[in-house]
Amino acid sequence: MIRFNVPPYTGNELDYVKKSIENMHICGDGEFTKKCNEWLEKKTGAAKALLTTSCTHALEMAALLCDVKEGDEVILPSYTFVSTADAFVLRGCKCVFVDVNPKTMNIDENKIEEAITDKTKVIAVVHYAGVACEMDTIMDIARRHNLMVVEDAAQGIMSTYKGRALGTIGDFGCLSFHETKNYSMGEGGALLINDEKYVEQAEILREKGTDRSKFFRGQVDKYRWQDFGSSYLPSDMNAAYLYAQLEMADEINDVRMDRWNRYYEAFKPLEEKGLVELPFIPDYATHNAHMFYLKCKDLTERTELISFLKEADILAVFHYVPLHSAPAGVKFGHFSGEDEYTTKESERLVRLPMFYTLSVEDTEYIISKVKEFYASK
């Protein structure tokens, strides 16, 4: 069986976890957490990177730092993972869902402005499949309407928009290191802070509302309760696992890009015949091969393709059920304007296996089976 995802493992993880245990510092902000934070700051250019227990928690921190209040509105795509919405719903916000651009499945920047009301506080964008949203337009809208921008860059590490790392363009960026992402620590994520003025509050928020981070740096002689907070810092053992992969980030990226390009080239003729649609990478973006998807004719054909592949021992999957039509989406938000593409396009999309240890042989086998399926169409 070719699995849909296999968590990344490069070889040094166990040594680093052992080192973290030998350091006798297995809780947060030890040697490896610091190394990961520094790596992320260097790689992305963010003013500050803070490793967190998940991207969901990084999003919660971003919502708290945006200082949203009960009744405020957040603009976001309906085609996303629940966490983008949850972070704001937990603070009492209403979700205003905006349609996607069918070419990228990212929020349609041209439909954002009509969704803005006097209650709007934040635009939360999602860089789907690690392919950037049209950030210049989005930042311009945000500036003109005095809104904060949170980038859900859960899938976007190593990707860029006009040369800038995803997660460093808005006010806050949120990364994920869940086992399904390009680099992993089991469960984990990071908050990227792009304006120095939020760093101190973010550190306090992440450390149960205390100035423990300052205390550890020797900047204060005791730490105290300073503000509201929670526990968003991961164990150093998890950070150790992640650091082994960050050191190999380019190698992992190269392998993923190779598999992605094989799929793309192989299916190009199917797209030319009008049988499928392939991912679109705008000129302004470089991507990270987080995901390879294709779009079938419709829901029926997608169901057929998934079961055809399953018969051939290949696990292909689909996602997301649009949030606005889910029970919580109905309760906590509404769609802005007409759902022209979100539902229709989400029903056609199927994701093929994509992970670091996916062999060339297996990739070619998957390609041959998809081609076989379409040969009969």
Q: Under rule CB under 6 A, which residues in 107-136 are in contact with ligand PLP?
A: 126
Q: How many binding residues for ligand PLP (CB under 6 A)?
A: 14
176 lies in the site for ligand PLP, by CB under 6 A: yes
- H/E run at residue 20: helix 13-22
Q: Which stretch binds ligand PLP (CB under 6 A): 79-87, 91-99, 132-140, 347-355?
A: 79-87
Nearest to 350 by CA among 269, 284, 263: 263
Which pair of structure tokens corresponds to residue 23? 């350091």
Q: Which residues pair with 292 in a beta bridge?
A: 352
The nearer residue to ligand PLP, 155 or 363, going by C-beta atoms, is 155
The nearer residue to ligand PLP, 182 or 213, going by C-beta atoms, is 182
Hey, how many other C-beta atoms are within 10 angstroms of the C-beta on 275? 17
Q: Which stretch binds ligand PLP (CB under 6 A): 148-156, 195-203, 231-239, 327-335?
A: 148-156
The nearer residue to ligand PLP, 99 or 301, going by C-beta atoms, is 99
Which pair of structure tokens corresponds to residue 201? 């509050």
95 lies in the site for ligand PLP, by CB under 6 A: no
Q: DSSP letters along 27-82, please?
A: SSSSHHHHHHHHHHHHHH--SEEEEES-HHHHHHHHHHHTT--TT-EEEEESSS-H
81 lies in the site for ligand PLP, by CB under 6 A: yes
The nearer residue to ligand PLP, 49 or 126, going by C-beta atoms, is 126
Q: How many helices (H) and strands (E) does the chain have?
A: 13, 15
80 lies in the site for ligand PLP, by CB under 6 A: yes
55 lies in the site for ligand PLP, by CB under 6 A: yes
Which pair of structure tokens corresponds to residue 178? 């869940």
238 lies in the site for ligand PLP, by CB under 6 A: no
Residue 334 sits at the vertex; the CA angle it makes with 328 and 338, to the nearest 5 degrees, is: 130
d(CA 15, CA 21): 10
| H-state helical runs in 109-198 | 135-145
Q: Which stretch binds ligand PLP (CB under 6 A): 54-62, 206-214, 218-226, 369-377?
A: 54-62
54 lies in the site for ligand PLP, by CB under 6 A: yes
Which pair of structure tokens corresponds to residue 199? 């760093």
The nearer residue to ligand PLP, 56 or 213, going by C-beta atoms, is 56
- Shortest distance (Å) from residue 57 CB to ligand PLP: 7
Buried b (16+ CB within 10 A) or exposed e, 173-204: bbbbbbebbbbbbebbbbbbbbeeebeebbbb
155 lies in the site for ligand PLP, by CB under 6 A: yes
152 lies in the site for ligand PLP, by CB under 6 A: yes
Q: Which stretch binds ligand PLP (CB under 6 A): 43-51, 77-85, 114-122, 224-232?
A: 77-85
Binding mask 178-217 for ligand PLP (x = CB under 6 A): x----------x----------------------------
- H/E run at residue 122: strand 120-126
Q: Which stretch binds ligand PLP (CB under 6 A): 28-36, 50-58, 71-79, 226-234?
A: 50-58
Q: Which stretch binds ligand PLP (CB under 6 A): 76-84, 111-119, 159-167, 292-300?
A: 76-84
d(CA 189, CA 211): 21
The residue type at 318: F
Q: Which stretch binds ligand PLP (CB under 6 A): 96-104, 152-160, 163-171, 299-307?
A: 152-160
Chain residues binding ligand PLP by CB under 6 A are 54-56, 80-81, 83-84, 126, 152, 154-155, 176, 178, 189
